Structure 1
């Protein structure tokens, strides 16, 4: 017996596949200062303390983030310098509890018996099926600040769902997210 084509079922399947795709990858956005002279930047260093280290000490996660940012900038020709770098890097990460409420309309039928017609009738009516999904949303910001002008030159941000992970998985996720942010960074050290 074959299943009949049902448009609502296809719509729900498409919605589920789309949402599943959103869960696995963060949304990346960037902003660039048009006044920034990216051709003049050759070195970088980290703010002290970083926004992710407000109490002045490193955590395993902040260490992973700093290493990933350093790897990405050095791959673009920048040199790490603690003294007087051209760019100061600040990293911020925070989490928010979020709730998604989705209502999907559906048709149900009420069956009643008519004594006058001596028959049963189905009467359709609209209702909604509501689902509530609680999750944690994480945001990772990477700021590149022109050290001489004390002005933000470039900002990259990733926003996505935070999943419970083992330490090894967390390192992979941080490295991948930082790489995705820097994939939007079009500059190389000293290039005009």
Structure 2
């Protein structure tokens, strides 16, 4: 792999991972985790982790810039003030693509022919069985981490997970990115200076 391929590959992975099921009615699947010892009431400002995982190739892309704009909007909406130099929280994000397989059973029916001595001929006998099916697909995961800047310790993380479908236009992918970030932060229950989690909207 030459240097150009090594630089381009992370960007292509990031683009692919952000083409989630956000366009579908159900949206991406979201999972979260947090540090139970963290005191969220002490966090009032935020900034970017350095280097951002998605930009480790040394440059940004329209995808990472789109994610940044969405994250800033979500943090602002929760009352966090951006502080480039000494933030309380640092935000990091990454995208990963993996090949997956689902194995499931599908009920089937068929007809077997058996000789009947009573009828002195072959007769059809219905047969029911389960057929094992395998579905191969590509899954993308967008992860957003909130890191305690003083301790360099992750205190909250959210993943948006979905199948990557057919080719989509950049405009459609941008909408998918917006929906994925929004889905992640819909599960973040805190606001600036408030350590009591707020009720989350039902999904």
Instruction: Give the TM-score band, short-chain normalised.
Output: 0.7 to 0.9
Greater Rg by CA: 1
SS at match of 1:88: strand
Aligned residue pairs total 171
For 1:112 and 1:149, how far apart are their aligned partners in 2?
75
Contact 1:23 1:160 in 2 (8 A): no
Residue aligning to 1:45:
47
For 1:187 and 1:24, how far apart are their aligned partners in 2?
24
Deviation at 1:31, TM superposition (A): 1.2
Unaligned ranges ≥5, structure 2: 1-23, 196-203
Contact 1:65 1:174 in 2 (8 A): yes
SS at match of 1:136: strand
For 1:162 and 1:23, how far apart are their aligned partners in 2?
15
For 2:30 and 2:118, how far apart are their aligned partners in 1?
65
Deviation at 1:134, TM superposition (A): 2.3
Counterparts in 2 of 1:75-114, with a 5 A limit?
A: 75-112=77-114, 114=116
For 2:32 and 2:25, how far apart are their aligned partners in 1?
20
Structure 1-normalised TM-score? 0.80
For 2:41 and 2:114, how far apart are their aligned partners in 1?
78
Deviation at 1:30, TM superposition (A): 1.0
Residue aligning to 2:64:
62
1:179 matched to 2:162? The reply is no
Can you list the C-alpha shifts for 1:41-75, whole angstroms capped at 9, x where unaligned? 11111112111111121011111111111111111
Higher alpha-carbon deviation: 110-119 or 44-53? 110-119
Residue 165 of structure 1, aligned match among 168, 184, 188 = 168
RMSD: 2.1
Deviation at 1:191, TM superposition (A): 2.1
Unaligned ranges ≥5, structure 1: 1-21
Contact 1:110 1:124 in 2 (8 A): yes
Contact 1:146 1:153 in 2 (8 A): yes
Structure 2-normalised TM-score? 0.76
Give runs of ≥4 in structure 1 deviating > 3 Å: 111-116, 126-132
Deviation at 1:113, TM superposition (A): 5.5
